[in-house]
Structure 1
């Protein structure tokens, strides 16, 4: 985007964090997964799973209200999401990469 990463799709990073003892997959895996997703760190299979779920099964309204930030990301960049819909969206409590792409879309004319 502007030289900054918005999110990562990185299987190796998770393995490194586990090997260094920074994360433990076996201790509260749901909390770990939620924290990694909120930080914008996805593995390859999650990325494709959520992309497929969005493009084949969701309308924009459902995607924008999803609890999954990656699905929200897909909805914000989708051409079906118009300016009026974006103006109604509150991104204050969303992850950094959602706010960043939202601001980018709001700066464009479409």
Structure 2
């Protein structure tokens, strides 16, 4: 007990001071824990938002790809229709030529 009292006097340290410092550290660590949990929650929210954004971008890219494919198919259809019209016109010309040759 004498040693404790001497140390106590030398360091100017009391149980009340120790308790107060401990409580302050405890409160600070609780606040730090709460802050860390809040930041983790925010990070999770940001991660979720990024995943949603990525999904949205992937959807847009698929949509864009489908639009481009549809446009290529329309162009192919138009080209085929043009070829068919040209062949039809050529057949009509041949029929006309045959009729005129038969009429002579």
Where is the helix percentage greater, Structure 1 or Structure 2? Answer: 2
CA radius of gyration, larger in: 2
Normalising by structure 1, report the TM-score: 0.23
Greater relative contact order (CA < 8 Å, ≥ 6 in sequence)? 1
Normalising by structure 2, report the TM-score: 0.24
